[in-house]
Structure 1
Amino acid sequence: MNQDKMDIKTPEYVSLQFQLSGLGSRAAAFLIDQLILWAVNAVIIIILVIIMNNETFLPIFFAENTIPIAFTIIALFIINWGYFFAFEFFSGGRTIGKKILGIRVIQENGHSITLLSSFIRNLMRIIDSLPTAYLLGIIMVFFHSKHKRLGDLVAGTIVVHERKEKRKKKLSPIEKEIENRGLSKNELSIDEWAIKSFSMKDWKLISTYVSRFQQLPESERNPLTKQISGILLTKIGLGVEEMDDGELENILLVLYLNLRDEWEFEI
C-alpha cells in the first residue's frame, strides 16, 4: 500500500504525482510526535506536583487547589491538540514526526494545507481516536484507497511522501550562475505566511523566467525582470523602484530557490 501513487491536476492545470503515505509511516510519525508530547506533558505534571506540594509556590489566587489543576488540564489540552494544528499549518504540513519520516499533509488539489483544513483535520482527531488508541483512524487509513482517516476525508487532505530533488553530480547552468553570483536561499528572509501567498501560477512564472534567464539578451531580460519583479516581489513587501536590474535579478533568483523547495518535487 505504501507504494500507491496519486495523480493530481491542480487548478492551474499542472499535473503532479504524489506517493501516498501508508499506515506504517504515518503510525511511526505519530508515535514520534506522541513521545514528544508525553515528555512535555510529564514536565507540566511534575511542575504541577511541585506547586501543589509547596505552598510557597502558590500565589494568592491559587489558594484553592482546584485552580492550578484546572489550568493544567486546559494547558495540556491546548498543547496536545494545538501541537498538530500549529505544526501542520505553519511548517508546511509537517509535524516533527512527519518531518523525520519524510511525509507531509497537503490538500487534495496539491496545494499546501490551509488554516481551515488544518483546523478541521485535527479537530476530527477526537473521533479518529475512538474507541481507543486511534483504532478508528487506523482502520480507515488501512482500508481507504488513499489512506485517509476521517479527518482527511472531512478536511479534503492527503498525506504524502516528501518529493525530493534529484541529487545531480553536475550543477545545471542556472545553478552555476546562482553559485557564481554567491547567492543562496538564506539571502532572502521569507516566513511561512509569505511562502503560502505564492501560488502554482507564480511558481510557473518564476521557473519559466529562470529557465530562459541565460538565453535572453540583456535588452530583453531587463524589462522582463522588472515586470516579473513587480508581480512577485510585492507579495513579500519589497519595493522594486529603488533597485537596479542586477539587484532585481539576484532577488528573483533567490526567490526561485525558496519557492523550489515548496513547488518543485520529484518522487
Structure 2
Amino acid sequence: MNQEQVGIKTPEFVSLQFQLAGLGSRTAAFIIDQLILMTANILIFVVLFVLILGEPDIFAVGDINSLILGITIVVLFVINWGYFVAFEFFSGGRTIGKRWIGIRVIQDNGHSLTLLSSFIRNLLRIVDSLPTSYFLGIIMIFFHSKHKRIGDLVAGTIVVHERKAKRRKKLSPIEKEIEKKGLTKDDLKMEEWALKSIEQKDWNLIKTYSNRLVQLPLSERYELTEQVAGILLPKLGLEVEGRINHDLENTLLILYLILKEEWEYEL
C-alpha cells in the first residue's frame, strides 16, 4: 500500500533516492514540536496573567487589558504558525522535532524547501487538522503512496529521512588533504542567504573540484582553483581579487565541507 523509497531525478539530471518518512516518524516529530509550542504558549499566558493582575484596578483599565489580550492573541498565532514556516525554511526543511527524529521536508524535485512551499504546506495545516486532531492529515499520510498530507500535495513537497553519506573507514584523498591542512567548517562563516543561493550545479562543481584537486599537477591545480573560485565565491559574497591561490584553495575546501553536509546523500 505504501512505498518506502522514492527515486527523484532533479532538473540537473541527477538521480537521488530517498527513504520516505511515514506516519510514525512524522507524528513523533510533530509531538515534539507541539510540546515546544505548548511550553511557549504557557509562558505567554503566565506573562499575560501577571500583567493583568498587576493592574491596581482591573475594571478601570479594561481598555488596556483588551489591548494586551489582543496583542497576545496575535503573538500566539504568529508563534504557533510561524514556528513551522521559519524553521522549515531557515533550517533546511527541519523543525526542532524533525531534526530530532531525523527527517526533513524537501520539494518533489529533490531541491531544498522554498519559502513559498513552506508557507503553503503550513497554511494548509488548517485543512489537514479537520475535523479534529489532524484526522484528515493522518488519513492522507497513511494512505497516500508517498505519505503526503494535503499541504504536501498542494505545496509539492515530501518528507524524507535524512541519510547522509557514511564516512569511510579509510579516508579519501581529499579528506586526507583537508585533514592535513587542518581545515574545519568553522573556519568559514557564511550568511544564511549565501547558503540558500547554492544550487545543485554549484554542489556538483565544488564536489568535482575537490575530488580532482589532489590528482592534478601543481600548475593545473592552481589554474583549476582560480577558475572555480571565480565562479563560486562571488556568488556567495566572498572576495576573489587580491587573494593568493593557497587561500582560495582553502576557502573552496572549507566550502566543500559545509555543503557536503547539506547536499551529499546516501544513495
The TM-score normalised by the length of structure 1 is 0.95
Show the counterpart of 1:30: 30
Shifted more, 34-43 versus 162-171: the winner is: 162-171
User: Which consecutive unaligned segments of at least 5 residues does structure 1 have?
Assistant: none
Measured in 2, the distance between the counterparts of 1:57 and 1:19 equals: 59
Letter in 1 for 2:191: D
Return the offset for 1:2.
7.9
Inter-CA distance 205–57: structure 2 relative to 1 (3 Å threshold)? farther
Show the counterpart of 1:126: 126
> Is residue 160 of structure 1 aligned with residue 160 of structure 2?
yes
SS at match of 1:64: helix
Is the 8 Å Cα contact of residues 194 and 237 (structure 2) preserved in structure 1?
no
Show the counterpart of 2:209: 209
Return the offset for 1:61.
8.6
Show the counterpart of 1:245: 245
User: Which consecutive unaligned segments of at least 5 residues does structure 2 have?
Assistant: none
Is the 8 Å Cα contact of residues 184 and 254 (structure 1) preserved in structure 2?
yes
Q: Percent identity?
A: 65
Show the counterpart of 1:149: 149
Measured in 1, the distance between the counterparts of 2:2 and 2:21 equals: 6
Measured in 2, the distance between the counterparts of 1:263 and 1:54 equals: 52
Return the offset for 1:192.
2.8
Inter-CA distance 219–71: structure 2 relative to 1 (3 Å threshold)? same
CA-atom RMSD in angstroms: 1.8
Measured in 1, the distance between the counterparts of 2:96 and 2:122 equals: 15
Measured in 1, the distance between the counterparts of 2:52 and 2:241 equals: 61
Alignment of 1:248-267 (within 5 A): 248-266=248-266
Q: What per-residue deviation string (whole Å, max 9, x for no partner) do you get for residues 15-66 of structure 1?
A: 00000000000000000000000000000001111111111699x9974321
Show the counterpart of 1:225: 225
Letter in 1 for 2:206: I
Is the 8 Å Cα contact of residues 225 and 248 (structure 2) preserved in structure 1?
yes
Measured in 1, the distance between the counterparts of 2:167 and 2:2 equals: 23
Is the 8 Å Cα contact of residues 62 and 68 (structure 1) preserved in structure 2?
no
Measured in 2, the distance between the counterparts of 1:169 and 1:52 equals: 61
Show the counterpart of 1:117: 117
Q: What per-residue deviation string (whole Å, max 9, x for no partner) do you get for residues 60-95 of structure 1?
A: 997432111111111100000000000000000000
Return the offset for 1:193.
2.0
Letter in 2 for 1:170: K
Show the counterpart of 1:39: 39
SS at match of 1:105: strand
Return the offset for 1:156.
0.3
Alignment of 1:22-101 (within 5 A): 22-55=22-55, 63-101=63-101
Is the 8 Å Cα contact of residues 3 and 145 (structure 2) preserved in structure 1?
no
Q: What per-residue deviation string (whole Å, max 9, x for no partner) do you get for residues 160-182 of structure 1?
A: 00012213222211111101101
SS at match of 1:229: helix
Aligned length: 266
Is the 8 Å Cα contact of residues 2 and 20 (structure 1) preserved in structure 2?
no
Is the 8 Å Cα contact of residues 104 and 162 (structure 1) preserved in structure 2?
yes
Show the counterpart of 1:191: 191
Letter in 2 for 1:7: G
Stretches of 4+ aligned residues off by more than 3 angstroms: 60-64
SS at match of 1:94: coil
Is the 8 Å Cα contact of residues 22 and 141 (structure 1) preserved in structure 2?
yes
Shifted more, 72-81 versus 193-202: the winner is: 193-202
Q: What per-residue deviation string (whole Å, max 9, x for no partner) do you get for residues 106-146 of structure 1?
A: 00000000010011111001111111111110000000000
